[in-house]
Amino acid sequence: MMASELDPCVERTFRGIRGSVTSVAFNPNMKQVVTASDDNIVTVWNFKPDMRAFRFVGHTAAVLGVDFSSSGRLVASASKDGTLRFWQPRVKGTSTLINAHTSASVFSVRFSSDDKYALTTSNDKTLKIWEVDTQKFNSSFTGHQHWVRSACFSPDSRLIVSGGDDKTVRLWDTSTQKNIHIFYDHSGTVNCVGFFPNGSLVAGAGADKTIKIWDIRTNKLLQHYNAHDDQINSIDFHANGSFLISGSDDATLKVWDLKEGHQLYTVRGHTSSVKAVSFSQNGEYFCSAGADKLVMVWKTNFDRPLPSVEGITTKSQATVSRPKIGPKRIARSQPPASVIQETPIPEAETPVPIGLQPAKPESHSRDSESPMAAEIASTLAHIVNQLDVIRNTMTLFDQRLTLQENIISRYVSDKPQDSTQATQPLQ
């Protein structure tokens, strides 16, 4: 089977980092991506082939988190050396230094949507907000009983979501610094959290290998995915809210269809733990990086409504083939990168608001089927879908023909009953 235009594929692979990559973020201008690594370096990678990467040296210990401001003019980095730095993503790479968490590691940093504030988390059990323009401390949030691994602002910056080693996901009010709700559903360290694009949902994932999504209007668990075979290190929502991506120590990325409530793709390209994943601001691309020291930029593709032309033209020259076992489709993109499209499984019965379907329960019944039976079932399903398309197309043609006949009928009835005019062709 030829590769579908809706399969993700590798666009760029960046090499040259000496340590494990711990964090990644896109420049909103889509010209750069920034990475943090445990060799104490912040690296800005330029998408133009003739431009070299910018390596920023200043931290004295592993850099654990990075983020681009929404303007693209600043990069923030968080380090195990206890500091927060703001860099200008240019060749000189000048920076300002903040001693953010004294005698403690800074695990993550995120800008607010208006670029006025930066949010940090630490193993001192606190979150802190910093004013970007003045580099001054603004406020602190206490309540976690253990290290705080991850946090981010809501889209309107009124709320913060955080997760940590106390196995909780917490919601905070930025104006009062109060903890307004605690989610206790995880059974292990929460390594990563995120806000849904409209701010109505939050997600958490971590050591228990699961992804959980809550509705913060009702404080109810909305979706639960038994997602990976090892701990999850990073998650990110797509800009349109329909998809979520996750990266894990099992060396895979996975793409989740949130509206249908099931796994959409398994993406293999890394040879070791995937430590960081991120969608671009427009959702057109996503990036992955990890312990294998590789930074991979992927074309999303699956967020497009319908393909307009046949074939794929990318720098990776991706190809797709159908495996012999199971009704799954595998896309390979410059070995060892590969993409496996998952087949939907029966939907759960629990109704879910706001257009998202509940996460569909895992099923292993397909594994017991013979390869031939599974292949036939997949082929028949494809034929049925194509017949539906043909039927709908024929219906449209029939409606159009009826409309044209009505127009011709009215045209003829309005003409004078003259034989010379009646024999003239319609213009």
340 three-state secondary structure: strand
Query: Is the pLDDT confidence value at 189 over 60?
Result: yes
Query: Do 332 and 394 sit in the same domain of this protein?
Result: no
Domain end (from 319, 346, 365) = 365
The answer to whether residues 245 and 235 touch, using CB atoms and an 8 Å cutoff, is yes
Instruction: Report the range of poorest mean pLDDT among 26-35, 95-104, 191-200, 385-394.
Output: 385-394
What is the mean predicted confidence (pLDDT) over 309-335? 32
Task: Locate 95 and state its tokens.
Answer: 């920076």
Q: Residue 208: which pLDDT band, with cuts at 50, 70 and 90?
A: very high
Render pLDDT for 237-294 as a digit per residue (tens, 0 to 9): 999 999 999 999 999 999 999 999 999 999 999 999 999 999 999 999 999 999 999 9
Query: Do 331 and 397 sit in the same domain of this protein?
Result: no
Full residue range of the structural domain in which residue 390 is found: 371-420
Highest mean pLDDT among 246-255, 299-308, 323-332: 246-255
Query: Do 70 and 213 sit in the same domain of this protein?
Result: yes
* CA triple 329-335-337, angle to 5 deg: 60
What pLDDT, on the 0 to 100 scale, is given for residue 334?
40
Query: Is the pLDDT confidence value at 306 over 90?
Result: no
Query: Is the pLDDT confidence value at 335 over 80?
Result: no
Highest mean pLDDT among 44-53, 262-271, 412-421: 262-271
Query: Do 39 and 92 sit in the same domain of this protein?
Result: yes
Query: Do 411 and 297 sit in the same domain of this protein?
Result: no
Pairing of strands 95-98, 274-279: unpaired
**Residue 398: C-alpha distances to residues 47, 229, 404 (Å):** 50, 52, 10
What is the mean predicted confidence (pLDDT) over 88-109? 93
pLDDT over 90 for what percent of the chain? 67
Query: Do 225 and 310 sit in the same domain of this protein?
Result: yes
Query: Do 382 and 326 sit in the same domain of this protein?
Result: no
Radius of gyration for the alpha carbons in the chain, expressed in angstroms and rounded:
26
Comparing C-alpha atoms, which of 333, 337, 231, 238 is closest to residue 292?
A: 337
User: For residue 246, what is the domain's CATH number?
Assistant: 2.130.10.10
What pLDDT, on the 0 to 100 scale, is given for residue 383?
73
Query: Do 327 and 397 sit in the same domain of this protein?
Result: no
More confident site: 138 or 336: 138
More confident site: 326 or 10: 10
Instruction: Report the range of poorest mean pLDDT among 12-21, 287-296, 359-368.
Output: 359-368
The distance in angstroms from the start CA to the end CA of the chain is: 47
Highest mean pLDDT among 31-40, 93-102, 383-392: 31-40
Query: Is the pLDDT confidence value at 425 over 70?
Result: no
Task: Locate 27 and state its tokens.
Answer: 């420049």
More confident site: 93 or 74: 74
The answer to whether residues 312 and 9 touch, using CB atoms and an 8 Å cutoff, is yes
Query: Is the pLDDT confidence value at 203 over 80?
Result: yes
The answer to whether residues 147 and 106 touch, using CB atoms and an 8 Å cutoff, is no
- Average pLDDT over the chain, rounded to whole? 83
pTM for the full model?
A: 0.76
Query: Is the pLDDT confidence value at 310 over 80?
Result: no
Domain end (from 342, 365, 388) = 365
Query: What single letter denotes the amino acid at residue 256?
Result: W
Query: What single letter denotes the amino acid at residue 274?
Result: V
What is the mean predicted confidence (pLDDT) over 161-176? 99
What pLDDT, on the 0 to 100 scale, is given for residue 409?
60
What pLDDT, on the 0 to 100 scale, is given for residue 222?
98
Interatomic CA distance for residues 272 and 267, integer angstroms:
13
Q: Does residue 4 belong to any structural domain of this protein?
A: no
Q: Which residue has the tokens 């323009």?
A: 133
What pLDDT, on the 0 to 100 scale, is given for residue 283?
96
Comparing C-alpha atoms, which of 305, 261, 264, 269 is closest to residue 287?
A: 269
What pLDDT, on the 0 to 100 scale, is given for residue 49?
85
